Protein backbone atom coordinates (compact mmCIF):
# COMPACT_ATOMS: atom_id res chain seq x y z
CA UNK A 1 0.00 0.00 0.00
CA UNK A 2 1.59 3.31 -1.01
CA UNK A 3 2.13 5.95 1.63
CA UNK A 4 -0.27 8.86 1.58
CA UNK A 5 1.19 12.31 1.99
CA UNK A 6 -0.34 14.83 4.41
CA UNK A 7 -2.84 12.37 5.90
CA UNK A 8 -2.86 11.27 9.54
CA UNK A 9 -1.81 7.70 10.21
CA UNK A 10 -4.15 5.48 12.16
CA UNK A 11 -2.30 4.14 15.18
CA UNK A 12 -4.85 2.12 17.11
CA UNK A 13 -4.23 -0.83 19.38
CA UNK A 14 -1.43 -1.77 21.72
CA UNK A 15 0.90 -3.00 18.94
CA UNK A 16 0.05 -0.20 16.53
CA UNK A 17 2.73 0.73 14.05
CA UNK A 18 2.98 2.43 10.71
CA UNK A 19 5.71 1.96 8.13
CA UNK A 20 6.89 4.99 6.20
CA UNK A 21 8.53 3.85 2.97
CA UNK A 22 10.22 6.44 0.73
CA UNK A 23 11.51 5.73 -2.79
CA UNK A 24 14.91 7.43 -2.94
CA UNK A 25 16.60 6.28 -6.13
CA UNK A 26 16.19 6.28 -9.86
CA UNK A 27 15.86 2.50 -10.05
CA UNK A 28 13.28 -0.02 -8.90
CA UNK A 29 13.33 -1.04 -5.22
CA UNK A 30 15.59 1.83 -4.14
CA UNK A 31 13.63 2.72 -1.04
CA UNK A 32 14.20 3.22 2.65
CA UNK A 33 11.65 2.56 5.36
CA UNK A 34 11.12 3.29 9.03
CA UNK A 35 8.55 1.84 11.43
CA UNK A 36 6.73 4.36 13.57
CA UNK A 37 5.17 2.91 16.71
CA UNK A 38 2.38 4.44 18.72
CA UNK A 39 3.72 6.19 21.80
CA UNK A 40 0.55 5.94 23.84
CA UNK A 41 0.11 4.48 27.31
CA UNK A 42 -1.23 1.18 25.99
CA UNK A 43 1.82 0.64 23.78
CA UNK A 44 4.45 1.98 26.19
CA UNK A 45 3.21 -0.03 29.16
CA UNK A 46 2.66 -3.33 27.27
CA UNK A 47 -1.11 -3.43 27.37
CA UNK A 48 -1.46 -1.97 30.85
CA UNK A 49 -2.94 1.09 29.20
CA UNK A 50 -5.16 3.72 30.61
CA UNK A 51 -8.74 2.76 31.23
CA UNK A 52 -11.54 5.07 32.17
CA UNK A 53 -12.18 5.10 35.88
CA UNK A 54 -15.67 4.03 36.90
CA UNK A 55 -18.02 7.01 37.02
CA UNK A 56 -19.85 7.51 40.31
CA UNK A 57 -22.86 9.75 39.89
CA UNK A 58 -23.72 12.12 42.71
CA UNK A 59 -26.43 10.71 44.95
CA UNK A 60 -25.80 7.14 43.86
CA UNK A 61 -24.79 5.98 47.34
CA UNK A 62 -27.26 6.04 50.17
CA UNK A 63 -27.06 8.84 52.67
CA UNK A 64 -24.86 8.15 55.65
CA UNK A 65 -22.68 5.66 53.74
CA UNK A 66 -19.21 6.44 52.52
CA UNK A 67 -18.59 6.27 48.80
CA UNK A 68 -16.90 2.99 47.82
CA UNK A 69 -13.21 3.30 47.05
CA UNK A 70 -12.18 2.49 43.48
CA UNK A 71 -10.14 -0.69 42.91
CA UNK A 72 -7.21 1.37 41.67
CA UNK A 73 -6.76 5.02 42.49
CA UNK A 74 -7.47 7.11 39.41
CA UNK A 75 -4.76 9.44 38.17
CA UNK A 76 -5.52 13.02 37.23
CA UNK A 77 -8.37 13.26 34.75
CA UNK A 78 -10.22 10.17 35.99
CA UNK A 79 -7.97 7.58 34.35
CA UNK A 80 -6.55 4.47 36.02
CA UNK A 81 -2.79 4.56 35.65
CA UNK A 82 -0.43 1.59 35.19
CA UNK A 83 1.83 3.36 37.70
CA UNK A 84 1.32 2.50 41.36
CA UNK A 85 3.47 3.95 44.14
CA UNK A 86 1.48 2.91 47.21
CA UNK A 87 4.20 0.51 48.43
CA UNK A 88 7.94 0.31 47.92
CA UNK A 89 7.58 -2.86 45.81
CA UNK A 90 4.91 -1.23 43.62
CA UNK A 91 7.04 1.91 43.31
CA UNK A 92 10.06 -0.12 42.17
CA UNK A 93 7.93 -2.00 39.63
CA UNK A 94 6.52 1.31 38.42
CA UNK A 95 10.02 2.74 38.03
CA UNK A 96 10.99 -0.27 35.90
CA UNK A 97 7.88 0.30 33.75
CA UNK A 98 8.72 3.98 33.36
CA UNK A 99 12.34 3.19 32.44
CA UNK A 100 11.09 0.71 29.83
CA UNK A 101 8.73 3.32 28.39
CA UNK A 102 11.53 5.90 28.26
CA UNK A 103 13.76 3.34 26.52
CA UNK A 104 11.04 2.64 23.92
CA UNK A 105 10.56 6.35 23.22
CA UNK A 106 14.34 6.90 23.03
CA UNK A 107 14.72 3.99 20.59
CA UNK A 108 11.91 5.39 18.43
CA UNK A 109 13.51 8.84 18.45
CA UNK A 110 16.88 7.32 17.48
CA UNK A 111 15.29 5.41 14.58
CA UNK A 112 13.48 8.52 13.36
CA UNK A 113 16.67 10.58 13.70
CA UNK A 114 18.65 8.05 11.67
CA UNK A 115 15.90 8.04 9.03
CA UNK A 116 15.98 11.84 8.91
CA UNK A 117 19.79 11.79 8.50
CA UNK A 118 19.49 9.34 5.58
CA UNK A 119 16.88 11.56 3.92
CA UNK A 120 19.06 14.65 4.37
CA UNK A 121 22.07 12.80 2.95
CA UNK A 122 20.02 11.73 -0.08
CA UNK A 123 18.80 15.32 -0.52
CA UNK A 124 22.37 16.65 -0.38
CA UNK A 125 23.57 14.04 -2.90
CA UNK A 126 20.72 14.98 -5.22
CA UNK A 127 21.58 18.68 -4.93
CA UNK A 128 25.23 17.93 -5.82
CA UNK A 129 24.12 15.86 -8.81
CA UNK A 130 21.87 18.70 -10.00
CA UNK A 131 24.71 21.21 -9.64
CA UNK A 132 27.10 18.93 -11.57
CA UNK A 133 24.53 18.37 -14.33
CA UNK A 134 24.00 22.12 -14.68
CA UNK A 135 27.77 22.67 -14.93
CA UNK A 136 28.05 19.90 -17.55
CA UNK A 137 25.17 21.38 -19.53
CA UNK A 138 26.82 24.81 -19.45
CA UNK A 139 30.11 23.34 -20.74
CA UNK A 140 28.33 21.47 -23.53
CA UNK A 141 26.40 24.61 -24.45
CA UNK A 142 29.65 26.64 -24.47
CA UNK A 143 31.34 24.02 -26.67
CA UNK A 144 28.39 24.01 -29.07
CA UNK A 145 28.43 27.81 -29.18
CA UNK A 146 32.18 27.78 -29.83
CA UNK A 147 31.67 25.35 -32.74
CA UNK A 148 28.99 27.63 -34.19
CA UNK A 149 31.24 30.71 -33.87
CA UNK A 150 34.11 28.86 -35.57
CA UNK A 151 31.81 27.70 -38.37
CA UNK A 152 30.40 31.22 -38.80
CA UNK A 153 33.88 32.79 -38.82
CA UNK A 154 35.15 30.21 -41.32
CA UNK A 155 32.14 30.82 -43.55
CA UNK A 156 32.58 34.61 -43.43
CA UNK A 157 36.31 34.35 -44.22
CA UNK A 158 35.73 32.01 -47.16
CA UNK A 159 32.99 34.15 -48.68
Per residue in 26-73, pLDDT (tens digit) is 888 888 889 888 888 877 876 554 443 344 444 444 444 444 444 444
On whether residue 113 sits in a domain, the answer given is: yes
In a domain, 127, yes or no: no
The Cα-based distances of 125 to 20, 25, 118 in angstroms read 21, 11, 11
Torsion angle in degrees (nearest 10) through CA of 39, 40, 43, 47: 170
- Does residue 140 sit within a domain? no
103 within a domain of the structure (yes/no): yes
- Residue 108 placed within a domain: yes
Total structural domains in the chain?
Answer: 1
Q: Is residue 59 part of a domain?
A: no
Cα–Cα distance, 66 to 64 (Å, whole number):
7
Mean pLDDT of the chain: 75
Confirm whether 58 is domain-assigned: no
Domain residue limits at 44: 17-50+73-122
Strands (E), 6-149: 17-23, 31-37, 51-52, 74-75, 79-80
Amino acid sequence: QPAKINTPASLAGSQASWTLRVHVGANQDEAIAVNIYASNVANLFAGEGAQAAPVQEIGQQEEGQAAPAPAAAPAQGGVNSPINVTTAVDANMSLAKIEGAIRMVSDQRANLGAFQNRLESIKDSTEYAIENLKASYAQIKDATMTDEVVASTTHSILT
